Chain A
Amino acid sequence: MTGAGYRFTVLQRSLHWLMAVCILAMLFIGVGMNSTVMPKYVPLLATHKTLGAVILILVLIRLGVRLRYGVPPLPADLPELMKLAAHLSHYALYLLMIALPLLGLTMLWTGAYPIVLYGDIRLPPLLPQSDAMHTLLWNAHFYLAFALFAVILLHVAAALFHALVRRDGVFESMAPMPSHNASTRIRATPAE
């Protein structure tokens, strides 16, 4: 059996693409605001914190949805090594999507920073200030953000490899729009 024709649910695909936009925005805001002296730093930092909270909530919902609905199987003829890479990279993506917002949050708490999100939402401080913890969390947040971007690049390359080279339906299983073939199938259905 191959994965062609099996797609993620609409909810899963929506979450995937919504989070893709959020996470890319997050990573670019993160490296941009910290490398450029500009007045936009203030609103960008507020956006970064707010988006971080949104991503954390979305990834937890997504994990729940994944446990409930499962995932389409990988094509049977996919080489074992690529299957392993697919599994490991998805573990890495989920781990980083959950870890980075938590690291950002705890990094701010241990730095004695008040956390104010859009809509004047204030998160109470749940950890005391600590130089050692702040440094540890800051470094983890910093370096793992680059790791996440690297895994995302790998993820994009792999998705395009499935779409353009293997053409095995894996890309279509998460594509936002049904592929040409799939849409033909869907259009054909009511006529039968």
Chain B
Amino acid sequence: MPEPSPSLSRPPIGSLVIIALVVAVGASAFAYTAGWLSPTRLTPNKIVDSLTPPGGPSLGHRRNHAKGICFTGVFESNGNGAELSSAHVFTHGEYPALGRFNLATADANAPDSTVRVRGLGLQLSTPDGEVWRSAMIDPPVFPVSTPQGFYELQLAARSQDPDAMKAFVARHPEFAPFAEWAKTAPWTASYAEEPYNSLNSFIFVNGSGAEHAVRWSLMPQAQIVPVTKEDLAKLGPDYLSQEIAKRVAKAPQRWTMVVTVADPGDPTADPTKAWPPGRRAVEVGTLVVQRIEGERDGPCREINFDPTILPKGVYVSDDPFPAARSAAYAVSYDLRTSELKYYPYHFETAGGGEQ
């Protein structure tokens, strides 16, 4: 027979203390994991906040690479990539491509000639349902070797302190190759004349399980015509989007996709370090851009070009950036999707792409 509850047969103070302790420990562990007890922890939100321009974010837009224009086309795979990765996209054939030319700025209204770094977001889809997203930029190396360094760079670049950048450069010697490129590399007056580099290292796994650390680049087939920054400025604040729309309307634009394979010992975790010349480079196919559409009504606006969205046969490496970018891009996406009502206004003041 069940016994009657012997409740309150002894003072429950000790028991209540135990209960309070269990709850307190549980809540504290949760708070710690959520970062509420660690104000110095680098969070995806902090990275995104650090990108905010002085006039506030461009509401409804990506928090970085805010200015851009959509494209669609195809990826013509020549089959050469299959020896490196079992991803379906490397088997010979043609696969739909969707992407976005963009400027590495948090200001959706920034004049083209004020933005040094240009980018290309890309999504390749294959009939097996796999999706590969990538966001590439045109410098040959990344400015910093860690996400923490990226955060410090944003703080320094937006600091009121005139010596902030000098102090940053002194603390981050790895910044030098990027700074050299930014200072000396020629500008162009077209998205079509730029190379776009993954910079981050990824792991390709082929059908027999062999792994290779790789980086990839889209090399332009268009002739590169160097211009000065001043000449670009004279062409107008939104020249690049107007130019690419006209150029693609005349003829599809092409980039050769080159996969560079690391030798053992090459630095895969540090995108400020280019691999030595002479590494094996495999041309795996051609990106053909066939159609340009304004961002507002184009297919790229709704896509987060998260570089960790990878097909089977492609994996992240020990490079810390893809994970950090994925987390920060998600924050940016969640912010801008919540700001939809602001988006068309900014688009119109930005001048759009098809005027």
On A, residues with C-beta under 8 Å from B are: 1-5, 27-28, 31-42, 45, 75, 77, 111-114, 120, 122, 124, 129, 131-132, 134-135, 138-139, 149, 153, 156-157, 160-161, 164-169
Contact = CB atoms under 8 A, between A and B. Distances in A.
Contact of A160 (B19, B302, B323): B19
Interface string B12-31: 10011011001100110110
Interface stretch (B34-42, B62-70, B107-115, B220-228): B34-42
B33 A35 contact: yes
B43 interface: yes
Given A28-B33, A37-B44, A165-B16, A157 B323 contact: no
A149 B30 CA distance: 9
B26 A1 contact: no
A48 to B, nearest CB: 12
Nearest to B3: A4
Given A2-B4, A164-B15, A164-B19, A37 B147 contact: yes
A69 B248 CA distance: 67
A39 B27 CA distance: 26
Contacts of B6: 167
Contact of A36 (B35, B302, B304): B35
A75 B5 contact: yes
B327 A34 contact: yes
B47 interface: yes
B322 A42 contact: yes
Given A5-B2, A37-B147, A40-B323, A166 B30 contact: no
B179 interface: no
A173 to B, nearest CB: 11
A75 B324 CA distance: 52
A41 B34 contact: no
Contact of B327 (A27, A37, A135, A166): A37
A131 B22 contact: no
A112 B309 CA distance: 11
Given A4-B5, A167-B7, 6 more contacts: A37-B47, A42-B326, A75-B5, A129-B302, A164-B18, A166-B7
A144 B183 CA distance: 49
Nearest to B15: A164
Given A37-B43, A39-B323, A134-B337, A164 B12 contact: yes
Interface residues on B, range: 35 or more
Contacts of B2: 1-5, 169
B47 A45 contact: no
B23 to A, nearest CB: 5
B333 interface: yes
B15 A165 contact: yes
B320 A160 contact: no
A140 to B, nearest CB: 13
22 contacts: A2-B2, A4-B2, A31-B30, A32-B34, A34-B327, A35-B43, A35-B44, A37-B43, A37-B47, A37-B148, A38-B320, A45-B326, A75-B5, A111-B304, A111-B337, A113-B309, A114-B129, A114-B130, A131-B338, A165-B16, A167-B6, A168-B7
B323 A27 contact: no
Contact of B302 (A28, A112, A139, A165): A112
A161 B34 contact: no
B308 A135 contact: no
Interface string B327-355: 11000011011101000000000000000
Contacts of A28: 29-30, 33
B41 A41 contact: no
A40 B33 CA distance: 14
B254 to A, nearest CB: 26
Contacts of A120: 312
Nearest to B303: A112
Given A1-B2, A39-B320, A135-B334, A156 B309 contact: no
A124 B328 CA distance: 25
A129 B15 CA distance: 51
Contact of A156 (B23, B33, B35, B131): B23
A43 B20 CA distance: 34
A157 B23 contact: yes
A166 B16 CA distance: 11
B316 interface: yes
B318 interface: yes
A41 B47 CA distance: 15
A-B CB proximity, top 7 nearest: A35-B35, A164-B15, A31-B34, A4-B2, A131-B337, A168-B5, A41-B323
